[in-house]
Amino acid sequence: MITNIIFRRSDSPMTSDKPHYENKLPNGWCLTNIGELLINRDGERKPVSSAIRNKQKNKVYNYYGAAGIIDKVDGYLFNERLLLIGEDGANLLSRSKDNAFFADGKYWVNNHAHVLDAIDKNLLDFVAIVINAMKLDDYITGSAQPKLSQDNLNKIPIALPPLYEQIRIVAKLKYWFSFVDCIEYNKGNLQDTIKQVKSKVLDLAIHGKLVPQAPMDESASELLKRINPKAEITCDNGHYQKLPEGWVITSISEMCENINGLWKGKKEPFVKVGVIRNANFTKDFKLDYSKIEYIDVEERAFKKRHLLNGDLIVEKSGGSDNNPVGRAILYEGKDAIFSFSNFTMVLRIHYKDVLSYKYLYYYIMSKYQKGEMRLMQTQTTGLHNLILDKYLDIPLCLPPYQEQQRIINKIEETFGVLDLIMENL
């Protein structure tokens, strides 16, 4: 059984059970509260204003507030491991950080965190676990500025096991917490790895190494010449000396029409249209329909610039140093419902029996992820602008049409597995 030596005073009222506890406490446990169990050292706290802290020069000691370290100061109040519990602030309710945390070594605490001590400091570890596992709403006053007063803190009940059981519980929880931390750390690494794998899959795809070639496929050059005898194509060049059998090198400009985006205009009649902007481009090369804005545009302009299924919308102006322009987002929707803004353009394929829009989409995505678009932009008045000639002259390694379909299927099959892994991390 627990002996009174671990309590703040020997006349602490304790009970082994309470009517509002649905289940009885295990043998050897008792129900107490923080006020009876721990030593409150709030009287030793001392706030230091930001004006004074800014003037201090030898700031080497941690300065704690309601949710952790907020600054450094040139002195300290405590020189031991103590339990701190936030006294006020939004974190008491949101619990985005632990409300109970430890400070050790030499440090200073302001008046926004309760300071708790114990005769046996093993108690502090157990109480910290209990506090961080429970909702404190019933003990918090104020909504605009939530506050956990010392009186209410003292009332928080603690179901307390024997000392050695506390130690075993804390040790086991620390083991599992470290295990969870390890998973979280590796989760981030795995997410980065999955992104790299996707980029590698695309790179293999556009170089003919993702799926095998099939001799019965009609070569891309023969198909293209049959449809467009004037097409400028080559089966090899200095940069692509190992072009797979049946592939040709052409360019985006040869295979696509590029259409500049829509200006709002001022001439009637108007028509209300959903206009796709840069803000609708997601980082994973998808189209976010939730952010599409509907506006009145000139009917005549819309007739020339409405989206067709299979169009690739390219960001030609905007971007940033970390996210250059040149992203292409695939539109797979109904015709004549959406248009695209003047910060974008559309690539519309001339020969859909030769080039699949999905293959072109993944091809441009691969080029973008490899950083090639950084060489195709200029910067003026804070905006990054795509150099259209360079972009449209990107060499397009074109496989036979049947092979394009096999490549698309393999990419989407692989991406589906990787996305499933990401969703379940």
The confidence band for 298, taking pLDDT boundaries of 50, 70 and 90, is confident
In total, how many domains does the chain have?
Answer: 2
Could you report the per-residue pLDDT of 300-316, keeping only the tens digit for each?
778 778 889 999 999 99
Single residue among 141, 161, 181 that ends a domain in this structure: 161
Could you report the per-residue pLDDT of 243-264, keeping only the tens digit for each?
888 899 989 999 999 998 877 6
Is residue 326, in this structure, part of any structural domain at all? yes
* 150-85-133 Cα angle (round to 5): 110
Is residue 77, in this structure, part of any structural domain at all? yes
Flag the least confident range among 3-7, 89-93, 242-246: 3-7
Single residue among 161, 195, 224 that ends a domain in this structure: 161
The confidence band for 7, taking pLDDT boundaries of 50, 70 and 90, is very low
Say yes or no to pLDDT of 230 above 90: no
Q: What is the pLDDT of residue 413?
A: 94
> Is 232 found in the same domain as 157?
no
- The model carries a pTM of 0.61
Is residue 412, in this structure, part of any structural domain at all? no
> Is 147 found in the same domain as 80?
yes
> Is 252 found in the same domain as 392?
yes
Angle of helix 357-369 relative to helix 163-206, nearest 10 degrees, comes to 120
The confidence band for 237, taking pLDDT boundaries of 50, 70 and 90, is very low
> Is 122 found in the same domain as 226?
no
Is residue 409, in this structure, part of any structural domain at all? no
With CA atoms as reference, report the closest residue to 29 among 13, 46, 15, 43.
Answer: 15
Is residue 350, in this structure, part of any structural domain at all? yes
Is residue 16, in this structure, part of any structural domain at all? yes
- Overall average pLDDT of the 262-274 stretch: 77
* 355-358-360 Cα angle (round to 5): 55
Q: What is the pLDDT of residue 4?
A: 40
% of the chain exceeding 90 in pLDDT: 49
> Is 123 found in the same domain as 256?
no
With CA atoms as reference, report the closest residue to 120 among 3, 44, 7.
Answer: 7
> Is 359 found in the same domain as 256?
yes
Is residue 410, in this structure, part of any structural domain at all? no
**What is the CATH number for 241?**
3.90.220.20
Q: What is the pLDDT of residue 360?
A: 97
Single residue among 161, 180, 195 that ends a domain in this structure: 161
Could you report the per-residue pLDDT of 328-380, keeping only the tens digit for each?
999 998 776 788 888 899 999 998 889 999 999 999 999 999 989 888 988 87
> Is 281 found in the same domain as 397?
yes
> Is 233 found in the same domain as 104?
no
- Structural domain boundaries, residue 225: 215-401
> Is 285 found in the same domain as 147?
no
With CA atoms as reference, report the closest residue to 345 among 318, 312, 370.
Answer: 312
Is residue 423, in this structure, part of any structural domain at all? no
The confidence band for 145, taking pLDDT boundaries of 50, 70 and 90, is confident
> Is 252 found in the same domain as 152?
no
> Is 397 found in the same domain as 252?
yes
> Is 231 found in the same domain as 88?
no
User: Mean pLDDT over all residues of the chain?
Assistant: 86
Could you report the per-residue pLDDT of 400-423, keeping only the tens digit for each?
999 999 999 999 999 999 988 888
Q: What is the pLDDT of residue 25?
A: 85
